[in-house]
Amino acid sequence: MSNYFAERRKEWKKENQQHSWLVFKIMAEFVEGFEKMAEIGPCVSIFGSARTKTDHPNYLLATEIASKLTEAGFGIITGGGPGVMEAGNKGAHEAGGTSVGLNIMLPFEQHSNPYIQPDKNINFDYFFVRKVMFVKYAQGFVVLPGGFGTLDELFESLTLIQTYKIERFPVVLVGTEFWSGLLDWLKTAVLERAGNISPGDLDLFALVDTADEVVDHISNFYKTHRIKPNF
């Protein structure tokens, strides 16, 4: 048994020595992302399911939200794929605004949608690099119904704000029917029964149902806060 693990340790060391060269590829993604994103101006990131169909109410709502945010002076950042991401880019495109896609290639679902400006379609191999771009350059997160990826982006942003790793920015959940069960669980199980968050943590986000409410919440926030990169 000890010989087995000794051999595995040798293989592990050899493989990880080779992997150390990946740092240069990771650095290249950061550099390209920073250079391109620094030019785009104030934007809002829109998240939601890649599986949302074009005739679904959430697709239509995301398009409306993006259009109205564009009219309010914000560009739109999405994950660059189909579904709600496509809807966000479509709304920005149709309103004549900045439409950014932070695309990542996956075995399923993901492909660049046609509403991203060609010079603002940025491809990533690493999720963690891509997520840094979302957080650093977004002046707000708008989160429509989605799956694991959407929840990941939501809770990472809330964790960074909660722990003061970034300054607070608007996080807006869209869809009372979809989000109310999760929020009830956070309040009862996570806060009241377990005490794993503070009462004020539930104020780090807003819950709305309409495009106008999204725009009002974000616009009102920036009446008293400065627009700038988050870190």
As a whole number, mean pLDDT of residues 119-140 equals 94
pLDDT for 17 beyond 90: no
Give the pLDDT of residue 228: 87
What total number of domains does the chain contain?
A: 1
User: Is the pLDDT assigned to residue 20 strictly greater than 80?
Assistant: no
Give the pLDDT score at 230.
82
pLDDT tens, residue by residue, 132-143: 999 999 999 999
Report the C-alpha gap between 99 and 77 in whole angstroms: 6
End-to-end CA distance of the chain: 49
Determine the pLDDT at residue 120: 96
Query: Helix, strand, or coil here: 107?
Result: coil
Identify the band that residue 2 occupies on the pLDDT scale cut at 50, 70 and 90.
Answer: low
Assess if residue 226 is contained within a domain: no
CA–CA gap between residue 65 and residue 71 (Å, rounded) = 10
Q: What is the pTM of this model?
A: 0.91
Q: Is the pLDDT of residue 15 over 90?
A: no
d(CA 97, CA 46): 14
In a domain, 230, yes or no: no
Residues in the chain, total: 231
* Strands 75-78 and 43-47, bridge-based pairing: parallel
Task: Read off the pLDDT of residues 44-65 as tens digits, 9 standing for 90 and up.
Answer: 999 999 999 999 999 999 999 9
The answer to whether position 159 is within a domain reads yes
Percent of the chain with pLDDT over 90: 84
- What's the pLDDT at 22? 85
Q: Mapping DSSP to helix (H, G, I), strand (E, B) and coil, where does residue 97 land?
A: coil
195-198's contacts with Cβ under 8 Å and 24+ in sequence apart are 197/162
Radius of gyration for the alpha carbons in the chain, expressed in angstroms and rounded: 19
Is 228 a member of any domain? no
Residue 204 forms part of a structural domain: yes
Pick the closest to residue 96 from 77, 118, 115, 120 (CA basis).
115
Does residue 231 belong to any structural domain of this protein? no
Residue 180 lies in a domain: yes
| 191-218 mean pLDDT | 97
Residue 108 is predicted with a pLDDT of: 63
Mean pLDDT for the stretch of residues 28-43:
94
Handedness of CA 28, 29, 32, 37 (dihedral sign): negative
CATH code: domain of residue 95? 3.40.50.450
Classify residue 193 by its DSSP letter.
Answer: I
Q: Which residues, listed in sequence order, are joined to residue 124 by a DSSP beta bridge?
A: 104
Q: Domain for residue 12, yes or no?
A: yes
Q: Which domain holds residue 188?
A: 2-221
Reported in sequence order, the residue ranges of the chain that DSSP labels E, i.e. its strands, are 43-47, 75-78, 99-104, 121-124, 138-143, 171-174, 206-208
